[in-house]
């Protein structure tokens, strides 16, 4: 399967996007854990004009400009059934809001799976678009995020500011 890549410069650093022929399959940035577990970008064909990548780039630019609250670019994220369920919950968290890992586990249907949802979030290959940054610790702390906790804090502050009008 051929994959294609493009880079977007954003307020949180350079984002590397990877797409198949018809869906986005990875979003990562410098220092992202994806790079250490085998990013698809290394073997991808650079193509910023690829329709999926062009759409993802446009939607991300709109998101960072405060003009977009959800993403419509098609996404294909390989993962276990549990991971897919956890990522599905992420897509339901409203823009500008947060939930705890415990709440995410409850929404997945297994209230005791707090660590498991954290692990699933850590393997989310399309962060920001599938918004794992909206999940926080039970005490309100910002824990774990592929781009770093400082990026997570920036994304949450950005969304809250835009949502507040």
pLDDT at 36 over 50: no
Report which of 32, 38, 46, 36 is spatially closest to residue 2, judged by C-alpha positions.
46
Residue with tokens 């979030």: 121
- Cα 57–14–54 angle (5° rounding)? 15
User: What is the domain class of 81-164 according to CATH?
Assistant: mainly alpha
| Residue percentage of the chain with pLDDT more than 70 | 92
Compare 33 and 106 and report the one with higher pLDDT. 106
- Answer yes or no: are the C-beta atoms of 158 and 64 closer than 8 Å: yes
Band of residue 49 on the pLDDT scale cut at 50, 70, 90: confident
- Answer yes or no: are the C-beta atoms of 102 and 138 closer than 8 Å: yes
Averaging pLDDT over each range in 10-14, 35-39, 47-51, which range is the top one? 10-14
What are the structure tokens assigned to 102, written together?
A: 């415990």
Choice among 1-5, 53-57, 116-120 with the minimum mean pLDDT: 1-5
Q: Choose, from 53, 105, 132, 136, the residue flagged as catalytic.
A: 132
Model pLDDT, residue 6: 93
Q: What is the pLDDT of residues 99-126, one digit of tens each?
A: 999 999 999 999 999 999 999 999 999 9
Q: Is 132 a catalytic residue?
A: yes
Fold classification of 4-64 is Double Stranded RNA Binding Domain (3.30.160)
Q: Where are the domains of the chain?
A: 4-64, 81-164
Band of residue 32 on the pLDDT scale cut at 50, 70, 90: low
- Give me the mean pLDDT over the 1-30 stretch: 91
d(CA 5, CA 98): 30
Model pLDDT, residue 41: 64
């Amino acid at each position: 399967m051929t994959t294609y890549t493009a880079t977007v410069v954003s307020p949180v650093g350079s984002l590397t996007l990877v797409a198949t022929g018809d869906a986005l399959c990875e979003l990562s940035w410098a220092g992202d854990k994806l790079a250490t577990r085998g990013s698809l970008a290394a073997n991808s064909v650079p193509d910023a004009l690829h329709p999926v990548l062009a759409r993802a780039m446009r939607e991300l630019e709109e998101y960072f400009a405060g003009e977009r609250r959800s993403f419509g670019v098609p996404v294909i994220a390989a993962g276990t059934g549990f991971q897919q369920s956890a990522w599905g919950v992420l897509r339901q968290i409203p823009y500008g809001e947060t939930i705890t890992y415990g709440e995410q586990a409850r929404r997945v249907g297994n209230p005791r799976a707090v660590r498991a949802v954290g692990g699933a979030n850590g393997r989310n290959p399309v962060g920001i678009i599938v918004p794992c940054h909206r999940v926080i610790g039970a005490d309100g702390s910002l824990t774990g995020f592929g781009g770093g906790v400082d990026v997570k804090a920036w994304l949450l502050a950005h969304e809250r500011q835009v949502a507040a009008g």
